[in-house]
Amino acid sequence: MKKIVINGGRPLKGEVTISGAKNSVVALIPAAILSDEIVTLDCVPDISDVVSLIDIMEAMGATIERQDDTLKIDPRGIKNMPMPYGKINSLRASYYFYGSLLGRYGEATVGLPGGCDLGPRPIDLHLKAFEAMGATVSYEGNSMNLSTGGKRLHGASIYMDTVSVGATINTMLAAVKAKGRTVIENAAREPEIIDVATLLNNMGAHIRGAGTDIIIIEGVDALHGTRHQVIPDRIEAGTYISMAAAIGEGVQINNVLYEHLEGFIAKLEEMGVRMTVSEDSVYVEKQHDLKAINIKTAPYPGFATDLQQPITPLLLMSKGRGLIIDMIYEKRVNHVAELAKMAGKISTSANHVAYEGPNQLQGAVVKATDLRAGAALVIAGLLAHGKTEITNVEFILRGYSNIIEKLTNLGADIQLVEE
């Protein structure tokens, strides 16, 4: 068991560099299965999800070398094998093995995905796409079997009933080696989709329209190796910007792409956050007199659901009353009860979060219920008077690379403790 212990009230100052995007790399690593040669990824974050994906790939027969933030993946030894149990079940992103294995072998047996409990997150859109391309779906216990019956997947026109990042990426993975043309309509537009499409195109795929709501894929017979740099993590960037605005006395966040955070930064400006946005960094000043705002999450380029929890402690420092409505995940409100334990004036009803500020948070023993809730509690702990202990920190380590080291370098009193 591990926990994070924070002695709060110490202002943050200095510089921090954002790591590669978690939501990209968890798809980029399985995408390497489709290559006939070595794929090298740079700027890979040091997170537990990456460790789990490496373990899964090596169990399948891949040879992987990791040095600092570079991952060298040789997929030539991979064998298609059932993966019903183990680390597969702990990862939401394990579903990307469906698309990559189907694309390479025409068959996949993979355990049902795990990850954070944010309410219903069905994979029916993924399966709809696979079936449209010629796969059949069957279930065996806690795993799913996908098969083309020895045939090659074929292109299809696929309309996503709802905007889904996972289903859009998975369809691309399956379609790049399918026979003919695949068209994805109502596709998600997130930067991570462009990142995955860029990798696949550099491997020899023919993908057009990534970043728009219509993606067209012309299937190819083979994919080759390449070297690819993972984009900066916009959610980690937003988390540190929120943190700097909440308790910073001059913090520069490096390796930030402003165009990935426009909706988020617009809301900070509405609050009155003073910052300087440069080409690849954001400098956040010490703040005064922030005002409460309302937030409603939406698919990209709207306000990201992954950032509504990390911004909440900052909102608790603002003056007035506000409302947060999460339109993506109905259960992404579990951080509210934990913040209330820290004397935050905050409550929830369904997917609505009501808050009032300003607050002086108090240290407490709290629990991370999911990845981004954990990030919110870290920020709250930095703000609070006294000591905060956060349990269930495995969630946090899934998505924030070297978070203890980065915050310590900014002046935080924070430790990861083994119990």
370 is in an annotated binding site: no
The H or E element containing residue 395 is helix 394-397
Structural contact between residues 155 and 179, judged by C-beta atoms closer than 8 angstroms: yes
306 is in an annotated binding site: yes
Is 68 annotated for ligand binding?
no
Question: Angle at the Cα of 364 (from 361 to 366), degrees rounded to 5?
Answer: 110
- Annotated ligand binding at 49? The verdict is no
Strands 295-296 and 320-325: parallel
Tokens, residue 340 = 């209330």
Bridge partners of residue 303, in order along the sequence? 297
Separation of alpha carbons 194 and 231, rounded Å: 10
What is the residue type of 252?
Q
Confirm or deny that 92 is annotated as ligand binding. yes
Catalytic site residue from 116, 118, 284, 353: 116
The verdict on whether residue 36 carries a ligand-binding annotation is no
343 half-sphere exposure, CB direction, 13 A CA radius: 14
**Using CA atoms, how far apart are residues 130 and 146, in angstroms rounded to an integer?**
8
Comparing C-alpha atoms, which of 300, 297, 290, 236 is closest to residue 268?
290
Is 43 assigned a catalytic role?
Answer: no
Q: Are 57 and 78 in contact (CB under 8 A)?
A: yes
Angle of helix 165-175 relative to helix 124-132, nearest 10 degrees, comes to: 20
124 is in an annotated binding site: yes
**Could you tell me which of 304, 395, 383 has the C-alpha nearest to residue 344?**
383
The catalytic residue positions are 116
Mark the binding-site residues, compressed into ranges. 22-23, 92, 121-125, 306, 328
Mark the binding-site residues for UDP-N-acetyl-alpha-D-glucosamine, compressed into ranges. 92, 121-125, 306, 328
Mark the binding-site residues for phosphoenolpyruvate, compressed into ranges. 22-23
